[in-house]
Amino acid sequence: MIPVRGYEGHRVGVLGLGRSGLATARALAAGGAVPACWDDSDGAREKAAAEGFEIADLRRDAAWEGMVALIVSPGIPHLYPAPHPIIERAYHRGVAVDNDVGLFFRSWATDDWHEMDPTPRVVCVTGSNGKSTTTALLHHCLTDAGRPTQMGGNIGRGVLDLDPAAEAEVVVLELSSYQTELARALAPDIAIFLNLSPDHLDRHGGPGGYFAAKRRLFAEGGPERSVIGVDGPEGRLLANQMREVTGSGDPVIRIANSVQIKDGWSVFARKGFLAEWRGGRQMASVDLRDIPALPGAHNHQNACAAWAALRALGLSPRQIEKGLRSYPGLAHRSQVIATRDGVTFVNDSKATNADAAEKALMAYDNIRWIAGGVPKEGGIEPLRPLFARVAKAYLIGQCAPAFAATLGDTPHTDCGTLDAAVTAAAADARPGDTVLLAPAAASFDQYPSFEHRGDHFIDLVRKLGAGR
């Protein structure tokens, strides 16, 4: 746990008592603050009370007496589409609003850091797609190279639930736009921006607000090194803004998977080969095509981002390549479950929108595509150019009729459930085919989360093997 500094003896509100909220309350108490907790859910309040925390009804004026700050969980809106009423009350009363990421950065460095050589470092990863894979890949490569490291934020442990810093340690944090937009303190040593695609637009008031939330990690954080994906216009703008006006421009490492960049410091992937260029010379090259946990161009971009950050941290090309090749992959993200009779089964349940599903479809050929669930805006219309890769689609959930209409002449069947879809796809599949769960939809019509949906897929695939 990271004890929160700067609030000793002060009353601090905590709004939202899920995983990050409870960790925040514990960290505040460990640092000598007095947390006053509230959640709209009775069950969440009861859980916090069972740990001995004060439950303060922040809807009432009396609960705000002596309060100096309100710490908000990331899922609670503070501006768009409308501020939560309790946050609006904090604004009215002049109480500072922050989140756990802001508390982490104001509390991470301690008085004994001057005795550490080297001092701990923080790498933060943001973007629309690939954050979790890049974060986990960085953490794995550092561990494989023998560097002390922790991973947290939007993946794994909450930022305040991490252990206090150790000498030479590297903390890798995945940060969503919800986390970067509100944090009052941001101070990464290395910040990574992967890409931007439409998502959470109602929460940010449109694409400009969404990009602005991501950009804060760089503009407010002032990282020593910025690793920026420049395949899209937002990344090109950000890279330009973070470059030095004079000098080498080395504070920025540009990454790409659609263009070659041979000036400045860059890492790009073309046709499955990663190349690092610096000062007009190629410094290293790696063939990514035979790394099973990193299939497709989107994962090659993730590999470029991890490579750039690891090089900035001082790892050698040989160390990084070894880590890339031993990376086991993340659950529910291009996760190869089994290969049976020449048919590969892949779990990409995390592909909950068309943009994420596009990355999965581009990584394979001869696809038996399992798709469907709760529809997202736009459905699968953006995926039409990839339908030629689909041998047949097996549709599930609420949006099966809409997906069927979009698929048109592409072979498809409405299976209704994942059980039926896996059975049908496995029966139809031939050697060389890939049975791919990439739903392009949320899970909430049939499952509490995409993780539960992916776990069910894994169980079904394993039962297929047991039945042979």
At 439, which amino acid appears? Answer: P
147: β partners: none
| Helices of type H across 146-206 | 177-180, 201-204
Residue 127 marked ligand-binding: yes
Dihedral in degrees, nearest 10, Cα atoms 36, 41, 44, 50: 70
Closest CA to 293 of 416, 141, 95: 141
Residue 183 burial (CB count, 10 A): 24
CA angle 394, 129, 217 (to 5 degrees): 160
**From CA 290, how far away is CA 465, in angstroms rounded?**
25
Dump strand ranges (E) for 349-418: 367-372, 390-396, 412-416
Expressed in angstroms, the distance from the first to the final Cα of the chain is 48
Residue 130 marked ligand-binding: yes
Dihedral in degrees, nearest 10, Cα atoms 74, 238, 350, 81: 40
Concatenating the DSSP letter of every residue in 189-209 gives: SEEEE----S-SHHHHTSHHH
Q: Residue 77: which H helix or E strand, with range?
A: none
Residues written for the chain: 468
| Cβ atoms of residues 350 and 333 within 8 Å | yes
Closest CA to 58 of 10, 25, 16: 16
Dump strand ranges (E) for 127-168: 149-153
CA angle 305, 311, 315 (to 5 degrees): 125
CA angle 45, 46, 51 (to 5 degrees): 100
Judged by DSSP in three states, 435 sits in strand
Closest CA to 220 of 212, 228, 232, 229: 212
Question: Which two three-digit tokens encode residue 254?
Answer: 């540009």
Residue 129 marked ligand-binding: yes
Task: Note if the bond before 401 is cis, omega within 30 degrees.
Answer: no
> Which residues, 6+ apart, have CB-to-CB distance to 401 below 8 Å?
414
173: β partners: 124, 152
Residue 208 marked ligand-binding: no
Binding site feature residues: 127-133
Binding site feature residues for ATP: 127-133
